[in-house]
A = this chain, B = another copy of it.
Amino acid sequence: MSEKKKNTVTSKDIARECGVSQATVSYVINNKAGKRISEEKRQEILEAARRLNYFPNASARSIRQQSCTSVGLLPGNNYTNAGFGDTLRGIKKHLDSIGYTLTLLSDDHDPENTEILRYYYSNIICGVIYIAFDNQTIDVKTLEDNSIPYVVISENGVSCRGMEEKKAFERVIFDCVRFCRDHQLKTIRYFTRAINGRFPHNKYDLLMKAIQEIYPECDFKRLTCVTTTDGPDSEVTEPIRRYLESNTFDIALTPNQRFGLLMQRCLLQNDFSIPQKIKHICLASSPALQNAYPRISSLYIPLFDMGFYAAKLLISLVNEHPIKEQEFECRLVHGDTTRFS
């Protein structure tokens, strides 16, 4: 199963090589203060370590220190449509700076979170970072029952247990509705999907809230495509197409990259003109939306910063030295699909 690694050099080897004890090697390698080892020995030890490629065995250190220096990451299914890379870079940047490691967990359906429990209690990870864009629901009950530290990154910002829900996304949704109001876009259609009869996110609720507060006189409707997991595009495009045959409206709102692109397909097939007669904002963040033609108006989300802070927050929870909360701001980025002339 798991084989021996060849030529492992240990602190004992360095100690023998330099004629000192293992303790001294440990002190030097870890730059332990207050040990006053002769500068000459110190250099000799560092030199030997470099020459022999000595790195302290992480498991041995972890076992001895009763510590755990890896963080679990649950990426959701956000690889493609949410600047996943930026988020990851933010997370890694902080973890690297404190010598922590990032362990990838599975997103496969696992309602009991058995994988997380196993990783946590085996001391492989000390906590979990969830990426939950597209207002994916995540089930943190098991984590809370087991007091496993976790943080959640979403469009709303970064939050953890006991923290007030963040609202960056809610604010930008308000901006979108305000945009509609200010430009007399009166009939608004939100296209979303129900998968196995359930709605996979709550963007609709936020929209409703924003509309009731600042644009109650508009004509707003949600249109639902009934989809199956990994179903074909036509599950989405057919209902939209049929709706467009006998209806028109001022602006379409879509919840994610896939919907945004497919909606554009239907709109353009129906009536190709720029500026589009029917406007469109995709309530998601993704480079593809900005690269498409016409450029699809969508959102900017500060993913790198959110990743960085999420890592920091999680470690602070693990160490029980809480850091202060941080707010993030999303932004409506106008492409071609909200242009008027």
Contact = CB atoms under 8 A, between A and B. Distances in A.
Given A80-B85, A88-B79, A57 B101 contact: no
Interface string A273-300: 0000000000000111011111100000
A102 interface: yes
B68 A2 contact: yes
A5 B146 CA distance: 12
A320 interface: yes
Interface string A7-48: 010000000000000000000000000000000000000000
A84 B80 CA distance: 7
Contact of A54 (B121, B286, B291): B121
Nearest to A266: B293
Contact of A126 (B5, B55, B58): B5
A286 B53 CA distance: 41
A2 B65 contact: yes
Interface string A54-72: 1111111011011111100
A96 B106 contact: yes
A104 interface: yes
**Copies assembled:** 2
Contacts of A68: 2, 5
B55 A122 contact: yes
A57 B261 contact: no
Interface in A73-102: 73, 75, 77, 79-80, 83-85, 88-89, 92, 96, 98-99, 101-102
Contacts of A286: 80, 288
Contacts of A55: 117-118, 121-122
A102 B104 contact: yes
A73 B88 CA distance: 13
B2 A67 contact: yes
A76 to B, nearest CB: 10
A212 interface: no
A291 B103 CA distance: 32
Contacts of A265: 291-295
Contacts of A319: 1-3
B272 A69 contact: no
Contacts of A85: 75, 77, 79-80
A253 interface: no
A258 B295 CA distance: 13
A198 interface: no
Contacts of A63: 57, 59-60, 63
A233 interface: yes
A268 interface: yes
Listed from nearest, the 9 A-B pairs whose CB atoms lie closest are A265-B293, A2-B67, A261-B291, A79-B85, A288-B288, A59-B59, A55-B121, A58-B122, A102-B104
Given A6-B147, A89-B107, 14 more contacts: A1-B99, A3-B319, A5-B123, A59-B60, A59-B62, A70-B103, A79-B85, A80-B83, A101-B124, A265-B292, A266-B293, A286-B288, A288-B288, A288-B292
15 contacts: A1-B99, A2-B67, A3-B319, A5-B123, A6-B147, A8-B123, A55-B118, A56-B122, A73-B104, A79-B88, A80-B85, A102-B104, A269-B293, A286-B288, A292-B292
